[in-house]
Amino acid sequence: MTNLHISIIQTDLVWENIPANLEHLDEKINQVPNGTHIVVLPEMFSTGFSMQPELLAETMQGNTIEWMKRWAARKKIIVTGSLIITENKQFYNRLIWRLPNGQMGKYDKRHCFSYAGENKHYTPGNSRFIASVNGWKINMQICYDLRFPVWARQQSINPPEYDVLIYVANWPEKRIHAWKSLLMARAIENQCYVIGVNRVGVDGNGFVHSGDSMAINPLGDALWHEVNREAIGNITLDKQFLQEIRQKFPFLSDADTFTLYP
């Protein structure tokens, strides 16, 4: 049973400035310790949560994708986070899962944040993305998806569909109670580890972000939590502990069956 080492990068973002953000993140990723499996960046880590995809969108062959590829290969890590992508004349808030061998996975944000007009600029995704790393199954989601528990719910019981649920976000401080409460709820109800990676600082619209990035165990207990500053959290997830909790408290076996449609 191999433990999983994840580095959370809670960072400020320079509004709509891709080169500045990548340069800043160079310093952060360079500090990640050897032996890390996954480095997680916030939502729209290269721009901030912008509603100007016409000006900022990149292709799947663009500079930021290549930047992720270089760091994954150099540090022998998986680099993940979301950015603005254009494809087939559509815009997506797309999470990229970049492996050190050059391979790549992707997840398009399913729930576009209509309160901020995201649904007017971006096309929603229609499928989940669950990755495999060293015997772990990892479900990747983005920010507003957190408010919709059905999209994250375990769909299989023996074994459970996934072991870790990761949210990358630009979640404002004024609604941070919901962020923290829902992260804990997702961990408890799905009997999994939950990682929430949020930004800090003030964005171009004047919204303040406190970070409050967290790593939470299957009982809902916080393993790591940082507020109001840039920070790197190096977290070890214990597979044996996860299995023991699921065996001791087999609550998922009583769950309702359902079929998830996009």
Strand partners of residue 100: none
Active site residue 66: no
What is the secondary structure of 75-136 as a DSSP string?
HT-EEEEEEEEEETTEEEEEEEEE-TTS-EEEEE-SS--GGGTHHHH-PPP-S-EEEEETTE
Q: Give 212's contacts (C-beta < 8 A, 6+ positions apart).
A: 171, 176, 179, 180, 196, 198, 225, 226, 227
Length of the chain: 262
**Cα 209 from Cα 227, distance rounded (Å):** 9
Active-site residue (options: 69, 75, 106, 109): 109
How deeply is 132 buried, as exposed, middle or buried, from its count of CB atoms within 10 A (0-12, 13-18, 19+)? Answer: exposed
Two structure tokens written together for 5: 């080492």
Active site residue 143: yes
**Cα 183 from Cα 181, distance rounded (Å):** 6
Checking DSSP bridges between strand 129-133 and strand 104-108, what pairing results, if any? unpaired
- Cite the DSSP H helix spans in 122-214: 149-152, 176-190
Active-site residue (options: 75, 106, 143, 192): 143
How deeply is 114 buried, as exposed, middle or buried, from its count of CB atoms within 10 A (0-12, 13-18, 19+)? Answer: exposed
Active site residue 43: yes
Residue pointed to by tokens 């480095």 = 39
Catalytic residues: 43, 109, 143
